[in-house]
Amino acid sequence: MNARAVSYGFRLLLQRLLGLVLFLIGSRFSADYHVWVYFGTNLVLAALGWVYIYRINPDVLAERGKVVTDSPVWDKWLLGLYWLLHFFVIHLAAGFGFGTALAENVFWAGMFFVVASSALAVAAVRVNPFLESTARLQAERGQFVVQAGVYGVVRHPTYASVLLSCLGICLVFQTVWVYVLALLIAALIVARTSLEDTMLLEKLPGYSTYAQRVRYRLIPFVW
């Protein structure tokens, strides 16, 4: 058993549970079935994704669990802000805004994007053994350009999955502060994508050729 991969899985589930706790604090422990569907689905998707990748390549999960790396300073700041906002603050804000009547069709559209976000992230981790949580060059691991699977469509599919997640949570909770925070998270992801892409173009052999073939960073036919 890969202890670091298992530790990462526990932390992943703990993130989801803490998000639920913060929502309940914000909502003064008020919830309806929409809340349980959203958080339950997130918890199940995280567990299933971890199990699936663990069976294929537990080492990539162990690497994603590293919290101290030699990534650039800009990455540490952007990652820290993203992590705080995406997993915790936005769910607290969703709790504060809870109580407004939700448009049922919009809610289920949001859940579709939540599931799609998770599926895209797992598809990226499945084919990329260098997909750490931080943005850095991994010369010590013999890093090369991954072009298989979803990397044949966009160059940063895990960041694209975050944009889907932002859209999903907006449609699920339908409150102003969730919209504002989701836009901020999306802006952080766009900035991180731009900076990481520039770093890879400059320093990772073969990446510039790959970028000429796969033109879009996050959204096909857009950017």
- Return all residues near 43 (Cβ < 8 A) that are at least 6 apart: 13, 16, 17, 20
Task: Give the count of beta carbons closer than 10 Å to the beta carbon of residue 21.
Answer: 16
Give the residue-averaged pLDDT of 28-43: 95
- Residue 143: both structure tokens together: 């890093």
Phi/psi region, residue 149 (left: phi>0; alpha: psi -120 to 50; beta: rest), is left
The tens digit of pLDDT for each residue in 76-132 reads 999 999 999 999 999 999 999 887 777 899 999 999 999 999 999 999 999 998 888
The alpha carbon torsion through 204, 205, 206, 211 (nearest 10 deg) reads 30
Model-level pTM?
0.93
The tens digit of pLDDT for each residue in 154-197 reads 999 999 999 999 999 999 999 999 999 999 999 999 999 999 99
Angle between the N-to-C axes of helices 104-127 and 157-173, in degrees from 0 to 180, rounded to the nearest 10 = 160
